[in-house]
Amino acid sequence: MEEEIFYKEEMRCGWKVDQKTKRVWAVQLEMLDEVERICKKHGLKYFADSGTLIGAVRHQGYIPWDDDIDLVMLREDYEAFIRIAPGELRKPLALQTPYAEKNYLRAHAQIRNSQTTGCSKEDRKAGYNCGIFIDIFPLDAMPEGKLASRLWAYSVQTLWTILYTWYRFDYYDNATVFGRLLHQLGNLLHIPMERSFAVYERLCRCFNGKNTSRVCDTVFIRQLEKNTWNRQWFEKMVYLPFENRMIPAPAGYDGRLRQEYGDYMKPAQAPTMHGTLLLDPDIPYEEYRRRGWKKKEQGCRESSSAL
């Protein structure tokens, strides 16, 4: 629980951060504290990443216009965490993976607060837990050599496209003929989603445990060069201030951030991976679902983030 002063409206870098935003942040910070507790208890490493890492370095907290927390773990720590977390997380928090929740299809894990609302249109269509969330991404070892890494990346990207078309075809606004054929094939084979996802993950981690010099955020493998980083950058942790706490960052955070963002110390508009979110820290998503996702003005905000 944050102190009362945390929730006061303020100006940060010329941007007004209102009380509703602060309440959303407080929900996410509670989840961050749970990740810290679980990882310390079980000897696991995790790191702030993306906008959260930029925020820690540049603002000592959230980027003022940001709406989420992003974390990464090396695959071995990530897999240990998703095994342990369901039995460790305190209610109303819950872990989401394709193995833990029906119809959840993302290549990374999320932690949700079931007593809140934080969701995209895709979340609402899928019908799973739609509480406010934080993201946890796995980092996988990459093969050495430019050709080998590109072939592996192409295989990972292609398999994900096939899986997403099989199980999420009805989400597409402009479906192609090829997409329709893939979806029909998926219906014909009728393979459970979690089984198909396990095949995808095996491909992602096939170089883990080998002496490779680079790691990749496979969720964003379409942008391979930006999301390929030296393993050495993640060998050690350093703690940076983030709001009213310290958060772990990779010791090589400068190289990691410059690889993807260039001059990350200069604020710049950038699209969020979430799109527009319905965020409400005060009303459970189940109530919104009962009302057909109609919004109330009180406590609710539409949000999309930038860097």
For the stretch 37-53, pLDDT in tens is 999 999 999 999 999 99
CB crowding 148-170: b at 16 or more within 10 Å, else e: ebeebbeebeebbeebbbbbbbe
Residue among 152, 147, 159 at smallest CA distance from 216? 152
Asked whether residue 237 is domain-assigned, the answer is yes
Asked whether residue 218 is domain-assigned, the answer is yes
- Please state the rounded mean pLDDT for residues 193-216: 95
Asked whether residue 123 is domain-assigned, the answer is yes
Does the pLDDT of residue 116 top 80, yes or no?
A: yes
> Could you count the other beta carbons within 10 Å of the beta carbon of residue 172?
13
Asked whether residue 283 is domain-assigned, the answer is yes
Residue among 33, 41, 129, 134 at smallest CA distance from 90? 33
Asked whether residue 10 is domain-assigned, the answer is no
Asked whether residue 13 is domain-assigned, the answer is no
Q: Which domain holds residue 166?
A: 18-301
What mean pLDDT is reported for the chain?
Answer: 91
Asked whether residue 264 is domain-assigned, the answer is yes
Count of the separate structural domains present in the chain: 1
pLDDT per position as a tens digit, 150-203: 999 999 999 999 888 888 877 766 667 777 777 787 778 788 889 999 999 999
Q: At CA 237, angle to CA 236 and CA 240, rounded to 5?
A: 150
Q: How far apart are CA 200 and CA 196, in angstroms?
A: 7
- Whole-angstrom Cα Rg for the chain: 19
Asked whether residue 3 is domain-assigned, the answer is no
Q: Are 112 and 129 in contact (CB under 8 A)?
A: yes
Which residue, chain included where needed, has tokens 């208890």?
41
Say whether 68 sits in a helix, a strand or coil. coil
Output the pTM of the full model.
0.93
Q: How far apart are CA 113 and CA 176, in angstroms?
A: 36
Q: How far apart are CA 241 and CA 7, in angstroms?
A: 18
